[in-house]
Amino acid sequence: MQTIMQSDLQLNGCSDKYTGKVREVYTLDNNMLVMVATDRLSAFDVVMPKGIPYKGQILNQIAAHMLEATADIVPNWLLATPDPNIAVGKACTPLKVEMVIRGYLAGHAAREYKLGKRLLCGASMPEGMRENDAFPEPIITPATKAELGAHDEDITPEALVSRGIVSQQVYDLLAGYTRALFTRGTEMAAKQGLILVDTKYEFGIDASGEILLIDEIHTPDSSRYFYADGYAERQAKGEPQRQLSKEFVRRWLMEHGFQGKSGQQLPDMSDVYIASVSERYIELYEHITGKSFQKADLSNVSQRMQHNLDLFFQSQPK
């Protein structure tokens, strides 16, 4: 099945193209961005050699859904989604920090906890917790935003300020936004029978100097979800939680001897496994949004994206 592994859009006034792990971002002269969500899959900060059908469309459409639903909390970069895989919005200078917030002891936090750590990025993790238990209240565990090919690094709020990554005033603002967004995301997830376990938010500064929410939010690439139904019973029995996130890919990779460390060989993902990952992403889309997923036409993706984008810019006021 065809996947979108890269794009080659022809855009008037394009001054730069940045290729990230999953997205490709075109910067235009008029302080606008065109962001293409590809079907590339990243885990342990490594891009897998094969794409996941419809993954980019799913991420783009969930992100748009969530940005629209949280615009009253914090202004964001998004202006339009003229194609299933494309978002257009305001160009921003990204702040070099990921604001990670965790409501439960899962994923990276659980792995650190098992190593005996009780502080994560300066946030306390109480004694006596089991994996997937809820924290008394959500904790913020920031990470430095790494360049392509490098690993994001845990960092304390104090170190963020002392290293000049952000000021104390800006960090306090980001932390407030992060908690409010997580509360809204938690409420939205609960209405769909899901638990928002943890997530991350990224912010940037636009041409006017305003701090905006950028990139994606509450998608399976940036968030972890549990099914609410049966959560308590599974915790009581010490059973793994049913979850909708990219964690199942990480676990599969770990079971096959890969954690992104030097010298480790990437396991081959069969077509059957890739199809199952695609199905999981579609399932997550439908659970998160409450909408039925409509698969975009993949017969000529490059032509489709270029055509839709051309129509969008032709419709804009001169």
Per-residue pLDDT reduced to its tens digit, 70-109? 999 999 999 999 999 999 999 999 999 999 999 999 999 9
* C-beta neighbour count of 143 within 10 angstroms: 18
Rounded Cα distance between 280 and 198, Å, is: 18
The answer to whether residue 247 scores a pLDDT higher than 80 is: no
Residue from 256, 132, 121 nearest 178 by CA: 121
Give pLDDT tens digits for 114-153: 999 999 999 999 999 999 999 999 999 999 976 554 567 9
For 86, residues 6+ apart whose C-beta sits below 8 A from its C-beta are: 34, 35, 36, 37, 60, 305, 308, 309
Q: What is the pTM of this model?
A: 0.87
Rounded Cα distance between 56 and 85, Å, is: 6
Give pLDDT tens digits for 190-243: 999 999 999 999 999 999 999 999 988 998 878 999 999 999 999 999 999 998
For 183, residues 6+ apart whose C-beta sits below 8 A from its C-beta are: none
Return the pLDDT at 280: 86
In this prediction, residues 292-310 reach a mean pLDDT of 95
* CATH architecture of the domain covering 14-92+270-315: 2-Layer Sandwich (3.30)
* CATH architecture of the domain covering 94-245: 2-Layer Sandwich (3.30)
CB-based burial of residue 187 (10 Å sphere; 0-12 exposed, 13-18 middle, 19+ buried)?
A: exposed
Give me the residue spans of the domains in the chain: 14-92+270-315, 94-245
Element (H, E) at 168: helix 168-191
